[in-house]
Structure formats: structure tokens, C-alpha cells
Amino acid sequence: MNLKHLSLAERQNYENMTVVPILSDTNTPFDVLDLKEGLKMGLVKIEECDNSNIEQVKLKNNSVSPLILLDGEEIAGSLQNRIVAQTMIIPPKSEMEIPVNCSEKGRNEYKSEFQYSDYIANSNTRRKKAYNKNNPLQEVVWNSIDDLETDKNTSSKTKALRDSYEKNKYDIDSYLKHFKMENNQIGVICIVENKVDLEIFNNHSLYEKYDEMLLRSYIIDSSSSEKINISDNELENILASINEDSFIKKEAIGLGKYYKISNSYGNGQILIYKNDMVHASFFKKIEEPAVNNGFVKNIQNNKQAIC
């Protein structure tokens, strides 16, 4: 895996959000079926497990091609909507149980067969998953969806992630039209308020499938706060930090090798298949605002005087 061939395109700015396309001159062929197309064509079937479990579903890939599932990708229906727990590749002609998280905690009754949602977990939810250490992952997801409702001043009868997207569709669309995809784009850096997040894919064709959905997941987390200033040089350093030295091997579901990424810049995940990167996501640590030492000292002196 080599990220040295990547470059950054010109920044695209709108309101409090900046999008920086990640470009590549190479275009590695990668024959894989995506979940949206697989469900649409009837080649993929997703059902509840025999013993119903909100953190697992049963998936059948009847295609002759490997199937890619993206971290945070949502399926809607059945007993509750779910989001995919990590990026994975499911072998052709196979059936297996896969890890998911419930994204609709207020429903536990059958609605329909699982269908593609066209949404992905909002970036703050995926960020919190990447930084979670000791809390049950399902609680982290539910709490984050609750936070999103609070931030957007919306409510959902079943606490569904999808409802927050639907109720904010107009505002999201008004942002989305200001960002365009480049011809050789394979990823994106999104700067929203004080957060810097990256998505990188194997090639342009694969990235193209998720571009709009990913941008929506960042737009929905924007508010009126100002974004941080960060140089292109610093962004390039963050890209360069995503290398084997920062990989922590974890259990892969299906094909390939799955790693958590952890370094001085932040946390993320990466899936590698046949020595090629499939998808990497990375969330830069949020830096605390600098505090004026003189101001702090004055406060301390005033407290002592009062005492």
C-alpha cells in the first residue's frame, strides 16, 4: 500500500465547511460489487439472524463478485435500521453473519425486508466509534444519534438516524451543490468546524459510488461554528502518517486484512485486499483551543485575592 502518489486538489469552500479532493494519477482496476447495486439487482439478501441480535445480521452474496460494505453504511427495514460496523469484503457466493449496529433504537417490530437506505452514519458517529475504548459500541452509536437530534433540534418517534437526514434534507442539499467531484478523485478531506476527517478509496470508480453520501454525512454535522485554519502542508503530513507503522491488526470480516489506525494525528481504520487499499477513514484529533497563560494567571490571582 502506497499513498505517496496522492495529491490534493484546490479547496472547495462553503459557509463553515471545506472540502479538499484527494487525487491519484493511477487507476488500479478493482472488480467489486457495492451494496446498493447488489440489493437493487437482487444479488444480495440481508435478514435477521436466526436468534435476533441488533448487532448482527445474516447476509447472502449470490454474486460472482466480491461485495464491499462500507463502515457506517445503513440498511433500513426489518426489526430496526442498522449500520455496517466496519468496512469489509464479502466473498462471492457466500453466506455469513456480519457485525452491525442499530441506528433506530425506538423500534422493535418488523417493517419490511432490508433495503438500501442511501445514508451513512453521520461523521460524528463514525468519529466516536473510532475513538471509543471502553464503552459498549451500541451505546456509543445510540448516544451519538441522540446528540445529532439535539444539535439539529429535531425529533424522531423511533430515534432513527435516517429521520435526521430526511428532516434536514433541504439544508444538506443547499450545501451539497457547492462541492464538485474531480475526474481523478479517489478520496476527500472534509474540514468541518474544528474537525478534520479523511476518506480514501482504491480508485475513482469506487469513490464515485460514495461521494455524495459521504459528503452528506459531514454536512449534517455542520453548524454555525467557524472552522479551524489548517495548511495544505499539515494536511499532507496527516496523509503521510497513514502508513504501516500506525496499523494495529484486527479481525477482518470476510476477505482482506483489517487494521485500526492510531498515530499522533488521530484514529481511523483501513481495509487492505490483495496488497491494495480498499478503503481508509481517518479522524484527526480535536485540538483544544489555546489558553492565554497571562489570562489564566490573572484569574488565579483574583481567586487568591478574594479568598
Residue pLDDT, tens place only, 153-191: 998 999 999 999 999 999 999 999 999 999 999 999 999
The percentage of residues in the chain with a pLDDT greater than 90, rounded to a whole number, is 83
The DSSP secondary structure of the chain, one letter per residue, reads ---TTEEE---EEETTEEEEEEEES-------EEHHHHHHTT-EEEEEEEEEETTEEEEEE-SSS-EEE-TTEEEE-SSS-EEESS-EEEPTTEEEEEEEEESBTT--S--SS-EEEEEE--HHHHHHHHH-SSS-HHHHHHHHHHHHHHHHT---TT-BHHHHHHHTHHHHHHHHTT----TTEEEEEEEETTEEEEEEESSHHHHHHHHHHHHHHHHTT--SSPPPP--HHHHHHHHHH-SGGGEEEEPPSBBSEEEEEE-SSEEEEEEEETTEEEEEEEEEPPPPPP--HHHHHHHHHHHHHH-
pLDDT reported for residue 27: 76
Three-point CA angle 247, 250, 253, nearest 5°: 125
pLDDT band at 264 (very low <50, low <70, confident <90, very high): very high
Return d(Cα 194, Cα 179) in angstroms, integer.
19
pLDDT reported for residue 4: 59
Across 103-114, average pLDDT: 95
pLDDT reported for residue 288: 63
pLDDT reported for residue 3: 64
pLDDT band at 225 (very low <50, low <70, confident <90, very high): confident
Residue 131 grid coordinates? 475513538
Longest dimension (CA), the chain: 77
Q: Which of 19-33, 115-129, 178-192 has the lowest mean pLDDT?
A: 19-33
pLDDT band at 303 (very low <50, low <70, confident <90, very high): very low
On the question of pLDDT at 276 being above 60, the answer is yes
pLDDT reported for residue 28: 77
Q: Which of 37-41, 172-176, 301-305 has the lowest mean pLDDT?
A: 301-305
Strand partners, 34: 68
Phi first, then psi: give them for residue 174, nearest 5 degrees: -65, -30
The percentage of residues in the chain with a pLDDT greater than 70, rounded to a whole number, is 92
pLDDT reported for residue 306: 41
* Mean pLDDT rounded to a whole number for the chain: 91
Across 121-130, average pLDDT: 97
271, 199 contact by CB (below 8 A):
no
On the question of pLDDT at 291 being above 80, the answer is no
On the question of pLDDT at 304 being above 60, the answer is no
pLDDT reported for residue 227: 81
182, 6 contact by CB (below 8 A):
no
pLDDT band at 2 (very low <50, low <70, confident <90, very high): low
pLDDT reported for residue 139: 97
pLDDT reported for residue 301: 47
Q: Which of 17-21, 59-63, 284-288 has the lowest mean pLDDT?
A: 284-288
Return d(Cα 88, Cα 93) in angstroms, integer.
15
Return d(Cα 100, Cα 88) in angstroms, integer.
11
